[in-house]
Copies of this chain bind each other. A is one copy, B any other.
Amino acid sequence: MNNYIDQLSIDCVVFGYQSKTLKVLITKIINIDNCYALPGGFILQNEDIDIAARRILNERTSLDHIYLDQFKAFGKNNRRDQRFIQQVMENQIWNTNQSGIKIDLNWLDKRFVSLGYYALVDIENVVLRKSEIDESVDWVDLDKVPQLIFDHNEIISEALVELREKFDKKLIGFNLLPSIFTMRDLQELYEVVYDTPFARNNFQKKILDLNVLERLEKKYTGAANKAPYLYRFIK
């Protein structure tokens, strides 16, 4: 495992948005019953950590360009999940990885510090793929995430705190929407992220005052007089 940095991993909280619900990408680990985790991986010796995170996400989402933010390192000494490590050892599931590099199981049987990233994607653009250790990779509603290995549930909670702090200030929410959307789509997204309703007129004024939206034609709904305008985010 000299190709990877020892004792250092990356775990990604990939947020998506669909049907007025915030979702996260969860992997089910192969050959172990009910064992779920965040999509993660390791850092090659000559690889920037941000590039490693993009590679790990590309392996699961097929996306090349992705909004990504490294927000915190998770490094409690006791974050390791001994039961999980034991099962991996017994099942010999991690003998190769995507790159065909042999994984030394003793290498895995150490304490790891994990760099937490969160990503925002338009679910419609994602083509889910499995890495060799994934039995499946699926979108899960944020409020229905099962018990995950290690401290991965805590990583999601912390990512959500960070998302809320940055969402408004950095206008990153547009990464969760299709490129063209209505004002109502946008408001619903904000309401879901902050888990609170906003007054329609206030919301619209506040957003339009930012001068980051281009107004396009009206959305075709069949009822022309009530049709809402479509908008596009000006990058």
Contacts and interface: CB of A to CB of B under 8 A. Distances in A.
B113 A49 contact: yes
A224 B5 CA distance: 65
A184 to B, nearest CB: 30
22 contacts: A5-B6, A5-B7, A5-B8, A5-B111, A5-B113, A6-B7, A7-B8, A8-B113, A43-B75, A43-B113, A46-B111, A47-B77, A48-B76, A48-B77, A49-B73, A49-B76, A49-B113, A50-B75, A70-B72, A70-B73, A75-B115, A165-B165
A72 B48 CA distance: 14
A45 interface: yes
Nearest to A6: B6
Contacts of A49: 73, 75-76, 113
Contacts of A73: 49, 70, 73, 115
A165 B168 CA distance: 13
Interface residues of A, number: 21
Interface of A: 5-8, 43, 45-50, 70, 72-73, 75-77, 111, 113, 115, 165
A72 to B, nearest CB: 7
A7 B77 CA distance: 17
Contacts of A8: 5, 7-8, 113
| Interface core residue of A48, A50, A75, A115 (most chain B CB under 10 Å) | A75
A78 to B, nearest CB: 8
A54 B77 CA distance: 15
Nearest to A112: B5
A49 B47 CA distance: 23
Contacts of A6: 5-7
A48 B77 CA distance: 5
Given A47-B77, A73-B115, 5 more contacts: A5-B7, A7-B8, A8-B113, A48-B77, A50-B75
